[in-house]
Amino acid sequence: MSTNKELLRKGVKYLTGALPLMFLGPSMIYNAFMNQHTNWHYLVLGIGIVACLSSMLLIFLGLKIIMKGIFND
């Protein structure tokens, strides 16, 4: 039972794409709540929420692909 190295690489690419979003999203949400006196805080909050949701989606897909590569699904 050998592992599929191409699927492992693809899964790691997804996880490396999610890594910056994991830090960018919460910091943008924090920034939006700290700057509520400006008119742009709704836009920044929306972008932060989208970044957090994208991070969660990329992590889920990356782990799913890695598991498929390890266990030859």
* pLDDT tens digits, one per residue of 20-69: 999 999 999 999 999 999 989 999 999 999 999 999 999 999 999 999 99
- Yes or no: say if 39 and 55 are a contact pair by the CB < 8 Å rule: no
Is 30 a domain residue?
yes
Cα angle 35, 24, 60 (rounded to 5 degrees) comes to 135
Say what the pLDDT of residue 1 is: 67
Is 57 a domain residue?
yes
Is 72 a domain residue?
no
Number of domains in the chain: 1
Range of the domain at 15: 5-66
Is 59 a domain residue?
yes
Tell me how far apart the alpha carbons of residues 66 and 14 are, in angstroms, rounded to a whole number: 10
Say what the pLDDT of residue 72 is: 80
Give the position of tokens 């994208």.
54
Handedness of CA 35, 40, 46, 51 (dihedral sign): negative
